[in-house]
Every structure is written in structure tokens, then in C-alpha cells.
Structure 1
Amino acid sequence: MKHYQGRTAVITGAGSGFGLELARLAAQRGMKLVLCDVQADALERAAAEFAGHELMARRVDVAKAAEMQALAAAVRERFGAPHVVFNNAGVGSGGLIWENSLADWDWVLGVNLMGVVHGVRLFTPMMLEAAAADPAWEGHIVNTASMAGLLNPPNMGVYNVSKHAVVALSETLYQDLSLVSEQLHCSVLCPFFVPTGISQSHRNRPGELAGGRPTKSQLISQAQTDKAVGAGKVSADYVARLVFEAMDQQRFYVFSHPQALAGVATRMEDVLQGRNPSDPFRDKPEIGAGLRAALRQS
């Protein structure tokens, strides 16, 4: 992206975390804002922060196709095709993979994967149409995945699956866009542990997908995630700035913690050499020992 002033950004999960920081940077660049979040009070606070700025604030559950369809129609009617779409909304979940209920799968895949699917399928055609009509038009789609989309840490399988799918979707989108346009690009954001509200995302879990009594492994995962996310040293603001840098440079992969790529390299070596998956706790064996002991306690 070369120009932002007067252009439109659609941001899901805009009430907090990465979404709110992306909105702040977009506003600083003079963009019109479409802020979406499932948490009404957080969305209201975010919208109030941008009072006087041209914006649309809309409560949306990104997992629901009809709500996303209505959002896309409203954006088209008011602003036309958006120039930037941040498919950012996400939720966290953990526990041994066989202990996750169907409701867990429906909730996590609904938000983390289908939310991105809806954003891509609804806004991409609109953006390509605008590009075809104007040779100077430019746009960018950013999908929020995770380092868990490139690794497979234990005791958080549903989340891993959802984020691997987002990485696969995004890489395919990159390739598909390259076949049809030079004006629309995409990136995938793969953050590691950053202090956001994702570890408490169950606060927005819909009643029809309510979880049952948490298992021991799920309680352990929740505690570990709370600790890791809370101790993160990289801020959401910093990550949002990395995203804008990536758009400026038309760079696909966005990593908040490049040092975590060592684990990705090990995983790729496992695949290429036909090795069994490496111990994820090789560098911190005390964590692995503690997790095994906790899970095996009667």
C-alpha cells in the first residue's frame, strides 16, 4: 500500500488487542474505519475513541455467515469496496485434543477459521471489482493466524488446527491473487504470546456453544496460557505497526517474535527427514516435565 488517506479499513475484533491498535494506526493515516466486534461494550468504547472520525461501528459475530453478509453489504453501500480488510477476530482454546467437545470445535473453528473465510469470500470480489475499474486502486487483506499455525504445541489442538487452516487459506489466497491482479495483495499475521484479551476469550462464547465442565487438561492449558500471554513483552501496538510495515512493503509473512521461527525450522526438518515430531520442550525440559506430571496425576 502506498496511500491510506481517505481510504477504508474493515477491522474485525476491533474492540481490543490487535484490532484496536490497527484501528488507531489506520485512523492516524486518515482512513475511514469499519469497526466490528462481538463484544458490544468493547466496541462502544472503541467507537467513542474515534469520535469525530468517519466510521461505522457494528456488532458482528464473524462466525455467522448472515451477519458477515450484512456487514459486507453495509460497507459497500456506505463506503464502496474497502481498501484494507483485517480479518483479525479470534478466540483461544486448549486441552487434550480428544477432550474437546463438538461445541469447542464449532466455536473455535467458527471464529478463527470461518470468520476469515467469510471476510475473504465477501470482500475479495468487491475489492477485485474496484481494482478492475480503476488502475490506480490498491488494496490489502491481512488475516490473523498465530505461530500456532506453523507449530503444533501440545494441549491446544483445536486452536492449532484453526490457525494452521488460516495460514493455508492465506498462502493460497496469496497465490490466487497473484494469478488475477497486481493491485490486491495479502499478508498473514503470526503472533506469538502478546498481552491481549485472547486468553479470556471465553467471555464472548455464545450460549448455544457453551462449554461443559472444563477438564483437567483444559484448566491446565488455561492457566499456562494466562501466564504466557500476561508475561508477553511485545505489545499489541508494536505488532500492529509490523502489520502496516508489511502492507507498505507488500510482505506476506508478519512475525511478532522472529526467534520463534527456530521451532518452525525444526518442524520442517522433521518433515523433510521423516523424523517423528521433535520434543517441543527440548529447550525448556522443566516445562514439559511439569506438564506431563500435572496431566498424569490421578
Structure 2
Amino acid sequence: MKELRGRVAVVTGGASGIGYALAQRFIAEGMKVVIADIEEKALDEAVASLGADGAQVHGVRTDVSRAEDVEALARATLDRFGGVHVVCNNAGVESGAPFLDIPLNTWEWVLKVNFWGVLHGCRTFLPLLKEQGEGHIVNTASTAAFATGLPTFAPYSVSKFAVHALSENLDIELRTAGEPVGVSLLVPGMTKSRMADAERNRPEGVTPSEAPERRAVLDMIRSAMKNNGLDPSVTADQVVDAILNDRFFVLTHPEETIGAVKARLHSMETGEPSAVRKPSGAQ
């Protein structure tokens, strides 16, 4: 895509953090925006704030883990704005514990939102973009898709690895077929957001871990976000540039992400074990 003005963007997880910043940036480009979020109060507040200066913004409460919710989001977008051009599958959650203490329903929740939410978004919106003859999909992964080893974060890392694989396969398939739809993989490092508090949205029956190592990791992440976290507006600028230039990888912290890939290659070549990872900016 070479022009965003007058086009329509859909952003899941759009009521806060990176999603909200993406919506702001798309509005600045002259786009109409639909934001989806599971938190209804936060969604209403975000729509009011984003639309305060007359921007065309619509909110749709959506649980991206449910295919029917994502399909309803697409219908609401078409009903409201008559089309869709950019889809950001950005909604994400995080929960975990030491591996053997992670309940199955915690794995299910994280994977349903982080991976299945992206899959539902791609399956639902891609036919619309192809029929339209132009469009771009942005799937949010994480440095955790390349840098594993953060204690208690196994479900999150697994889900983001899956998003990476899905997105890369889809991008190759569409490019090979000459389809007019681009794909970008957003790979955020430490960014100011509410991800460390994602368990606020856990479904009934999913209990957060009180293990000391879990609490310590979350405290470390909150501190790193506060002291060194990237402003999400910078990430949003990078995403817009990637869309306009049809670039697949969007690395907010390239040194950390590429360094993790090099470390994995080194381990593959030498047999040396990988080091335990700390969040970017942590001491």
C-alpha cells in the first residue's frame, strides 16, 4: 500500500498500549479506524479520546479468541465504513509460572488470545483484502519470538513463536502468488504498555501464579518498562513505515532481537547452551 488517507484500519487490543498508539497514528494519516478490545470501559474511553477532534473512530468489543467475535468485528467494520485496508492483529495477554506449575487453562488462555486471535484475524480479513485488491496485515509478535529463556514466560514465548511462523508463511505465500496484500510482523521489545498486568483480563478459573520467581520477573518487567520502555508512538511510526514500504520485519529493538538470533545460531553451531534472558533494560 502506498496511500493510507481515506482508508480503513482495524486494530485489536486498541484501547491501550501499542494498539492505542497505532490507532492514533492511523488517524494522523487520515484513516478511519475501528478499535477492538475486550475491556468495554477502556474501549469506550479510547473511542471518546481518539475521536475528540472529529476523527472517524468506531469501537467494537471483541474477544479475539472467539472466531465468531472476529467475524462480527469484520461485519461491523464493513457496515460502518464500507471497507477495510489495514488489519493489525495486536491483542495479546501474558500469564505463566514455573513450567510444571502452569495449569493447562493458563496455556489455553494465552494461546487462544495470542495465537488463535491472530489466526482468526488473518482468516477473517484476508479474503476481504484480496477481494478489495489492496491491503496489509500487521501481526504483533515479540522479541520473545526470537529470545526465549525468560523465567515463567513459556506460554507467552510459545504463542509468539507461533505468530512469527504463521506470519512468515503467509507473507511468503502471498508474495509468491503475487497477491496485492502485504504482511508485516511487529516485533516489540520493551515498550510502555500494560502487558505486565495482562492477568487483569484472565477468564474465570485462570489463577495467576504467586510463585516468588514469577512475582520477581513481573516486578523486573514493570521497572524496565517504566525506566527504559519505548514509547508506543515510536512503534506506531515504524509500523506505518513498514506498511508503506511493504516490509515484513518491524523490529523496535533490532540489536536485542538480532542478537538473540545470532546467539541461537551460535548455540546450534557449537552446542553451547543459550543464556537465561532478562527483559531489555533490566539490570
Give the TM-score, by structure 1 length. Answer: 0.87
**Pairwise CA distance, 1:274:** 5.3
Q: Which amino acid aligns with 2:114?
A: N
Structure 2: 5+ residue runs without aligned partners? none
| 1:59-86 deviation per Cα after TM superposition (whole angstroms, max 9, x unaligned) | 1111112211211222233334410000
- Are 2:149 and 2:277, in contact at CA under 8 Å, matched by a contact in 1? no
Using the alignment, how far apart are the partners of 1:98 and 1:109 within structure 2?
17
Q: Which amino acid aligns with 1:174?
A: D
Q: Which residue of 2 aligns with 1:24?
A: 24
Higher RCO (Cα < 8 Å, 6 or more apart): 2
**Pairwise CA distance, 1:179:** 2.8
Using the alignment, how far apart are the partners of 2:74 and 2:127 within structure 1?
11
The DSSP-based 3-state class of the residue aligned with 1:27 is helix
Q: Which residue of 1 aligns with 2:203?
A: 206
Using the alignment, how far apart are the partners of 1:157 and 1:281 within structure 2?
12
**Pairwise CA distance, 1:15:** 0.3
Q: Which has the larger radius of gyration?
A: 1
Which of 141, 144, 148 is residue 144 of structure 2 equivalent to?
Answer: 148
Using the alignment, how far apart are the partners of 1:46 and 1:144 within structure 2?
20
- Are 1:147 and 1:190, in contact at CA under 8 Å, matched by a contact in 2? yes
Change (3 A) 1:203 1:192: same
Q: Which residue of 1 aligns with 2:183?
A: 186
Q: Which residue of 2 aligns with 1:296?
A: none
Q: Which residue of 1 aligns with 2:135?
A: 139
Superposition misfits of 4+ residues, deviation over 4 angstroms: none
Change (3 A) 1:257 1:73: same
- Are 1:11 and 1:86, in contact at CA under 8 Å, matched by a contact in 2? yes
Give the TM-score, by structure 2 length. Answer: 0.92
The DSSP-based 3-state class of the residue aligned with 2:138 is strand
Correspondence 1:87-166 to 2 at 5 A: 87-131=89-133, 138-155=134-151, 156-166=153-163
Using the alignment, how far apart are the partners of 1:228 and 1:157 within structure 2?
20
Q: Which residue of 2 aligns with 1:67?
A: 69
Q: Which amino acid aligns with 1:86?
A: C
Which of 235, 238, 245 is residue 231 of structure 2 equivalent to?
Answer: 235
- Are 2:150 and 2:277, in contact at CA under 8 Å, matched by a contact in 1? no
**Pairwise CA distance, 1:212:** 5.3
**Pairwise CA distance, 1:169:** 0.7
Structure 1: 5+ residue runs without aligned partners? 132-137, 288-298
Using the alignment, how far apart are the partners of 2:101 and 2:228 within structure 1?
28
**Pairwise CA distance, 1:221:** 2.5
- Are 1:149 and 1:163, in contact at CA under 8 Å, matched by a contact in 2? yes
Using the alignment, how far apart are the partners of 1:196 and 1:99 within structure 2?
26
- Are 1:13 and 1:19, in contact at CA under 8 Å, matched by a contact in 2? yes
Residue 173 in structure 1 maps to residue 170 in structure 2:
yes
Q: Which amino acid aligns with 2:86?
A: V
- Are 1:95 and 1:219, in contact at CA under 8 Å, matched by a contact in 2? no
Q: Which residue of 2 aligns with 1:58?
A: 60
- Are 1:142 and 1:189, in contact at CA under 8 Å, matched by a contact in 2? yes
Q: Which residue of 2 aligns with 1:45?
A: 45
Q: Which residue of 2 aligns with 1:253?
A: 249
| 1:13-71 deviation per Cα after TM superposition (whole angstroms, max 9, x unaligned) | 11011111110111111111111011112111110021432232111111112211211
| 1:75-128 deviation per Cα after TM superposition (whole angstroms, max 9, x unaligned) | 233334410000001112232222211121111111111110110000001111
**Pairwise CA distance, 1:177:** 1.0
Using the alignment, how far apart are the partners of 2:116 and 2:58 within structure 1?
22
- Are 1:88 and 1:143, in contact at CA under 8 Å, matched by a contact in 2? yes
- Are 1:94 and 1:221, in contact at CA under 8 Å, matched by a contact in 2? no
The DSSP-based 3-state class of the residue aligned with 1:278 is coil
| 1:182-212 deviation per Cα after TM superposition (whole angstroms, max 9, x unaligned) | 42101001111111111111111122x4215
Change (3 A) 1:119 1:245: same
The DSSP-based 3-state class of the residue aligned with 1:266 is helix
- Are 2:96 and 2:208, in contact at CA under 8 Å, matched by a contact in 1? no
Which of 213, 218, 226 is residue 222 of structure 2 equivalent to?
Answer: 226
